[in-house]
Amino acid sequence: MSFGFFFKEAIRGLSRNSAPALAALLTVLLTALVLGVFIPIVQATTGTANEVRERVLVNVYVAEDATKAEREQLAAALERTANVKSVEYVPKEQGLKEARRKNPEAFGRGVDLLGANPLPDMYRVVPDDPDGVAAIVDRLAPANADGVREPSLAAIDEVRNKEEDTEKILSATGLVKILTGGLMALLVFASIALIANTLRLSIFARRREVEVMKLVGATNWFIRWPFVIEGVIVGLMGGVLAVMLLTIAKETFIDPLEDRFALLAAPETIDFPLLIVVLLIACVAVSAAGSAITLRRFLRV
């Protein structure tokens, strides 16, 4: 049999069972809408959490009496340290400008009264993996038996990474990523189950037709192909309608508000054309697979 024959049978089946087909289409439509909204939200939330995690730094303060050779040794050691993404040298003059910009009252009159810059030179170390920042601190300034950190190199005066703030950032962002990932997995599973159950009800209404075809000698795939094509048509139609509604919402509400709400314009979110492709493929694949798998139980005659 040609594809045209199975396609005509699929169209005929949809027209004869319009109510179950409409229910399946609406289910696919609503599920695709929810996924289309939730996927960018999860990505934006995760991206924001990653941006916060990138603020985790290690400040290595240089001793005032360190020689040029000791400073060069320190710079080389920082470059070789594991889990170090970048190293930035911040001279005391630049450090004072940054401090005055962040806290002009404390570093304005106070420095003028002292008549000198109290800040030391430092290296700003950015970890490749924020979760491993403690290992960098332990490498540069290991703790002794009393718990006091002692610099491992002569050029190091002190190593700081704001341990309390770092732990709060890592724990909070880690929890956000776990929760959003779990919610995403749960939503995908629920979406597949909802579509499959709706398709099961649609096929259940036509079980007698399947049993008669099976009894007169029709092969399993001869019976299955029209249902699979029906699933493809329903999934494609539901996906297209969902994409149309999402496009209208994006152009009407989301785009005009991007300048006001940073979350809506988060750079970590999926491109809208790619999101359309993902939704359409998912709708068609889940609907077709759901039809084929659900029909299997009715083929056992």
pLDDT of residue 268: 63
The confidence score (pLDDT) of residue 275 equals: 86
Do 156 and 188 reside in the same domain of the chain? no
Residue-level pLDDT at 115: 55
Residue-wise pLDDT tens digits, 164-191: 566 676 777 777 778 877 877 787 777 6
pLDDT at 104: 66
Is 293 inside any structural domain?
Answer: yes
Whichever domain contains 120, its CATH number is 3.30.70.3040
Average per-residue pLDDT for the chain = 77
Report the alpha-carbon distance of residue 64 to residue 123 in Å, rounded. Answer: 13
> pLDDT category, 241, cuts 50, 70, 90?
very high
What is the pLDDT averaged over residues 96-100? 74
Looking at 92, 127, 160, the residue that finishes a domain is 160
Q: Give Cα separations from 265 to 138, 246, 256, 275 (angstroms).
A: 38, 16, 11, 15
Question: Which is more confidently placed, 31 or 217?
Answer: 31
Which residue do the tokens 């999934």 mark?
235
In whole angstroms, what is the distance from residue 106 CA to residue 96 CA?
Answer: 11
48 with 181, same domain: the answer is yes
Residue 115 phi, psi dihedral angles, 5° rounding: 80, 5
Please report the pLDDT score of residue 245 as a whole number.
92
Structure pTM? 0.62
Same domain, 61 and 47: no
**pLDDT exceeds cutoff 80 at 248:** yes
Closest CA to 59 of 194, 210, 163, 153: 163
Q: What is the pLDDT of residue 240?
A: 92
* Position 193 pLDDT exceeds 80: no
Residue 107 lies in domain: 57-160
| Domain count across the chain | 2
In a domain, 201, yes or no: yes
